[in-house]
């Protein structure tokens, strides 16, 4: 497991090779047929509404199915250590981005089985799960024993045909001391599932967070902090005090490190949560760090933030990179 090497003292990371989109009903038109001389019958507004509702319900059902698949895998494989059930959840051609493991289901079983022999009390407590399109994100607290402070781990899974076909993760040990009292995880009692919002609200939240992150970390425009971040902002990064003001103090770092950047890889959003997966570097020669930032949005402002940071290693057990 890798020690934390943060390239940015505050790592937010924004994301998106996957643009966050809502569910939109596509207008249905008659297909062109050379033998047809009549015009297509217009679709009534009632029909469009029904089609949109059906599509939305179908999407919600698939996302719930994807999350259930991942949660069952956590229970059986990660917590009950039943590696014989791995094939129920992971595809044989599973693509791995964790730099410590190779590609394929068998490589995962070998890697995790070896790790369990060294850490028989390994447990993973799921703190939050969100899903969008074919991706599922899990923020979990991993421990190897009762006295272990553990690590913050964010896993990102891609699902196809009810199997996990691809996986990214970012791992950071929980430090002994923190600059705030909020821990690296959601507050005790926070539901694992997020409260649903409309597709338009989710899209607006993702757009706002992406704009904030890109303007701050890539354009180095510190004015966006007061524009997009709530004054009573709750900070979970253990290196940074809570509240908006400590972020303003980050301005000097950005101004003196003009070559630093955070490349947005993907954005995943559900409910009031926006997850950003990014590549953070001090300059173009820096291997940098993989970062996952998790933002909670309320009333058009960023009100809470968690992040997990892992240095990109020199060598990897696979050729897929951490992104």
Q: What domains sit in the chain, N to C, each tagged with a CATH number?
A: 55-173 (3.10.450.50), 199-311 (3.10.450.50)
List 261's β-bridge partners, or say none: 281
Closest Cα to residue 262, out of 226, 293, 223? 293
**In tens digits, what is the pLDDT along the chain, a chain of 323 residues?**
333 344 344 444 333 322 333 332 232 333 333 334 334 444 454 444 455 555 677 789 999 999 999 999 999 999 999 999 999 999 999 999 999 999 999 999 999 999 999 999 999 999 999 999 999 999 999 999 999 999 999 999 999 999 999 999 999 999 999 999 999 999 999 999 998 899 999 999 999 999 999 999 999 999 999 999 999 999 999 999 999 999 988 888 888 898 999 999 999 999 999 999 999 999 999 999 999 999 999 999 999 999 999 999 999 999 999 99
3-state helix/strand/coil string of 209-253 = HHHHHHHHHCCCCCCHHHHHEEEEEEECCCCCCCCCHHHHCCHHH
Whole-structure pTM value: 0.84
Q: Kindly give, in sequence order, each residue whose CB lies less than 8 Å from that of residue 294, ignoring residues fewer than 6 positions away.
A: 128, 139, 154, 273, 274, 275, 276, 305, 306, 307
Instruction: At 74, give phi and psi (nearest 5°).
Output: -60, -45
């Amino acid at each position: 497991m890798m020690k934390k090497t943060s390239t940015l003292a505050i790592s937010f990371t924004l994301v998106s090779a996957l643009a966050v989109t809502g569910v939109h009903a596509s207008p249905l038109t008659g297909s062109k047929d050379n033998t047809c001389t009549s015009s297509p019958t217009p679709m009534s507004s009632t029909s469009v509404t029904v089609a949109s509702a059906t599509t939305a319900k179908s999407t919600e059902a698939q996302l719930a199915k994807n999350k259930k698949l991942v949660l069952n895998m956590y229970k059986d494989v990660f917590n009950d250590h039943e590696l014989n059930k791995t094939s129920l959840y992971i595809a044989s051609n599973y693509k791995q981005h964790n730099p410590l493991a190779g590609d394929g289901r068998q490589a995962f079983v070998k890697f995790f089985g070896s790790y369990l022999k060294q850490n028989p009390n390994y447990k993973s407590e799921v703190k939050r799960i969100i899903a969008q399109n074919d991706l599922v994100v899990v923020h979990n607290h991993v421990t190897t024993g009762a006295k272990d402070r553990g690590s913050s781990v964010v896993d990102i899974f891609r699902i196809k045909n009810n199997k996990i076909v691809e996986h990214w993760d970012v791992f950071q040990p929980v430090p002994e001391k923190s600059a705030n009292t909020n821990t690296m995880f959601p507050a005790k009692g926070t539901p694992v599932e997020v409260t649903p919002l409309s597709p338009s609200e989710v899209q607006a939240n993702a757009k706002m967070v992406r704009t904030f992150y890109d303007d701050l970390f890539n354009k180095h425009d510190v004015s966006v902090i007061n524009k997009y971040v709530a004054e009573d902002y709750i900070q979970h990064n253990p290196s940074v005090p809570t509240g908006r003001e400590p972020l303003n103090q980050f301005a000097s770092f950005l101004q003196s490190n003009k070559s630093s950047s955070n490349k947005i890889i993907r954005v995943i959003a559900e409910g009031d949560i926006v997850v950003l997966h990014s590549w953070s570097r001090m300059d173009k020669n820096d291997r940098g760090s993989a970062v996952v930032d998790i933002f909670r949005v309320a009333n058009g402002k960023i009100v809470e933030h968690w992040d997990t940071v892992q240095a990109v290693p020199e060598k990897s057990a696979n050729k897929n990179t951490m992104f």
